[in-house]
C-alpha cells in the first residue's frame, strides 16, 4: 500500500468514527442509528403512571384499607350508625341490602346520597363507590317498584335461549345503571344436581340455579355476564367453587361442608365461562371443600382463592367474599381476623352485611400492614384491582 493510500485510509476511518459519534449524540434515542452507533438498545422514556397507580400512590393507609370493604346499606333507610362506621373507615363500596319497592328514581336518590357521603377525594381525584345489590330474580331480587322489571327465578331463566337471556340481562342491568347501581352480585354459577334439588338449602330451595349440569349453566352464565356488561354493569358469578351440592346454608349454618366438588371438576366450568365473558368480580363461598382444601373454609383457603381462582382460571378481577359479618359460617373465625385471613388467601373485597364490624376487621389489616411487608404488598395489589374495577364502572375518572 502506498503512503498516499495509507493516509487516505486513516482519514476515512477518522471521518467514519466522527460520523458515528455524532449519530450517537444527535440521533433520536429510539432511532436505529443510535443503536448502531452505541451498540446497545436505545434509552426509552419511562411510561407515565396509570390513573389507578397515581391514585393508589396518593392514598394513606386508612383510605387503602377502606377500599377493601363493601358494607351493607340496609333498605329502605340505612341506619346512621352503619353509615358513620363506613365513613370513619373510608369504606369504598356499599351493598344495598334487604328489600325495597321504592323504584328506580328513589333508589337513585339514595345512591347519589351515598356517593356524596362516602366517596373520598385523594390528591384532587374523586373516588366513587362500587354500589352493588342482589338482583338475581325470583325470591332474590332486592330492588323492585316503578322502573324495575319483575325478574323470574334463575331456574326459569335457565330454560330460555342464551340469546333471550342476554337481551333480558341487558335490560335488567340498564335499570340498575339508571338507579346508580354499578355491580350486580349475580349470576349464580352454582350447579344443583337433580339428585339434590330443593334439599340444597342455599340455592336449590329457592330455584336460584340456571340448571343441573354445566352444559346448561355455563352458557347461561356467559349470556348473563355479556348482557350486563353491554349495559355497563359489573357482574359477580357466585359462589366459587360452587354451593350446589351442599345441604346447609352458610348464612344460617355454622359448618357447611362439600364432599364432592373438585378443583378441576364440572363445578368450575360456569365460573370459567363467566370469567371468559368478562365478569368483573367473582364471589367465594363460606363452605369447606373436603376434596380441595379440607382444612379451610373457601374464603380463607389460598388453594381455592389464589391457586384455583386466580392462577388456574387466570382471573384478574376483584375477588369478593360472601358475607363475613353475620353469616353463621364466619363466626368461628375471630372478627379481627376475617378480612385479614381472606386477604392472605388471595381475596380483595370483604363483604359484610354488618358494617359495625368493619372497624375491628379494618384494624386487623392495618396492624398486619405495620408489621408485615407482605401484607402491605397484598393490600396494594388488592386496592389496585378494586380501583381498576371502579374505573371500569365509571366512578373513577382521572382528569389528567
Are residue 352 and residue 290 in the same domain, yes or no?
A: yes
The 10s digit of each residue's pLDDT in 158-173 is 999 999 999 999 999 9
Are residue 236 and residue 331 in the same domain, yes or no?
A: yes
* Per-residue model confidence (pLDDT) at position 5: 42
Are residue 16 and residue 123 in the same domain, yes or no?
A: no
Residue 43 belongs to a domain: no
CB neighbour class for 32 (10 Å; exposed up to 12, middle 13-18, buried from 19): exposed
Are residue 335 and residue 194 in the same domain, yes or no?
A: yes
Which residues span the domain enclosing 19? 8-38
Contact 127, 119 (CB under 8 A): yes
SS3 140: strand
Are residue 12 and residue 134 in the same domain, yes or no?
A: no
Residue 399 belongs to a domain: no
The 10s digit of each residue's pLDDT in 324-358 is 999 999 999 999 999 999 999 999 999 999 999 99
Are residue 14 and residue 150 in the same domain, yes or no?
A: no
Bridge partners of 283, per DSSP, are 320
Are residue 273 and residue 152 in the same domain, yes or no?
A: yes
Q: How many residues does the chain have?
A: 400
Are residue 15 and residue 151 in the same domain, yes or no?
A: no
* Per-residue model confidence (pLDDT) at position 47: 65
CATH code at position 344: 3.20.20.300
* Per-residue model confidence (pLDDT) at position 45: 57
Are residue 323 and residue 290 in the same domain, yes or no?
A: yes
**Mean pLDDT of residues grouped by 10 in the chain (400 residues)?**
43 41 38 40 60 93 98 96 96 98 98 96 92 98 98 98 98 98 98 97 98 98 98 98 97 97 97 98 98 98 98 98 98 98 98 97 97 97 98 87
H/E/C letters for each residue in 69-101? EEEEEECCCCCHHHHHHHHHCCCCEEEEECCEC
What are 32's three cell numbers? Answer: 436505529
* Per-residue model confidence (pLDDT) at position 31: 37
Q: How many other CB atoms are there within 10 angstroms of residue 46's CB atom?
A: 6
* Number of folded domains that form the chain: 2
Report how far apart, in Å, the C-alpha atoms of 351 and of each of 57, 85, 125, 225, 384 are. 24, 14, 25, 21, 17
Whole-model pTM above 0.85? yes
Amino acid at each position: 500500500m502506498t503512503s498516499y493510500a495509507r493516509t487516505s485510509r486513516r482519514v476515512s476511518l477518522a471521518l467514519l468514527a466522527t460520523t458515528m459519534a455524532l449519530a450517537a449524540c444527535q440521533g433520536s434515542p429510539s432511532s436505529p442509528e443510535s443503536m448502531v452507533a452505541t451498540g446497545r438498545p436505545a434509552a426509552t422514556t419511562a411510561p407515565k403512571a396509570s390513573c389507578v397507580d397515581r391514585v393508589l400512590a396518593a392514598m394513606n393507609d386508612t383510605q387503602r384499607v377502606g377500599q377493601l370493604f363493601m358494607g351493607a346499606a340496609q333498605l329502605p333507610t340505612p341506619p346512621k350508625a352503619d353509615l358513620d362506621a363506613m365513613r370513619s373507615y373510608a369504606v369504598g363500596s356499599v351493598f344495598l341490602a334487604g328489600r325495597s319497592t321504592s323504584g328506580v328514581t328513589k333508589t337513585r336518590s339514595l345512591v347519589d346520597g351515598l356517593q356524596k357521603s362516602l366517596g373520598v377525594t385523594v390528591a384532587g381525584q374523586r373516588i366513587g363507590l362500587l354500589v352493588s345489590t342482589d338482583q338475581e330474580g325470583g325470591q332474590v331480587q332486592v330492588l323492585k317498584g316503578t322502573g324495575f322489571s319483575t325478574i323470574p327465578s334463575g331456574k326459569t331463566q335457565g330454560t330460555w335461549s342464551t340469546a333471550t337471556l342476554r337481551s333480558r340481562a341487558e335490560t335488567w342491568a340498564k335499570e340498575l345503571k339508571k338507579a346508580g347501581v354499578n355491580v350486580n352480585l349475580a349470576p349464580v354459577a352454582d350447579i344443583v344436581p337433580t339428585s339434590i334439588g330443593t334439599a340444597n338449602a342455599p340455592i336449590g330451595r329457592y330455584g336460584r340455579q340456571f340448571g343441573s349440569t354445566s352444559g346448561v349453566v355455563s352458557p347461561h352464565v356467559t349470556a348473563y355476564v355479556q348482557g350486563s356488561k353491554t349495559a355497563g354493569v359489573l357482574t359477580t358469578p357466585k359462589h366459587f367453587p360452587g354451593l350446589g351440592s351442599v345441604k346447609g346454608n352458610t348464612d344460617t349454618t355454622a359448618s357447611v361442608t362439600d364432599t364432592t366438588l373438585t378443583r378441576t371438576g364440572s363445578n368450575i366450568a360456569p365460573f370459567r365461562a363467566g370469567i371468559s365473558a368478562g365478569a368483573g368480580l367473582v364471589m367465594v363461598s363460606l363452605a369447606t371443600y373436603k376434596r380441595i382444601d379440607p382444612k379451610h373454609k373457601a374464603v380463607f383457603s389460598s388453594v381455592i382463592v389464589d391457586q384455583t381462582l386466580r392462577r388456574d382460571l387466570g382471573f384478574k378481577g376483584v375477588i369478593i367474599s360472601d358475607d363475613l359479618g353475620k353469616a353463621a359460617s364466619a363466626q368461628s373465625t375471630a372478627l379481627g381476623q376475617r378480612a385479614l385471613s381472606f386477604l392472605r388467601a388471595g381475596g380483595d373485597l370483604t363483604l359484610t352485611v354488618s358494617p359495625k364490624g368493619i372497624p375491628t376487621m379494618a384494624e386487623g389489616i392495618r396492624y398486619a400492614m405495620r408489621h408485615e411487608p407482605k401484607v402491605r404488598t397484598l393490600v396494594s395489589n388488592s386496592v389496585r384491582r378494586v380501583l381498576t374495577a371502579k374505573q371500569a364502572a365509571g366512578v373513577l375518572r382521572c382528569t389528567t
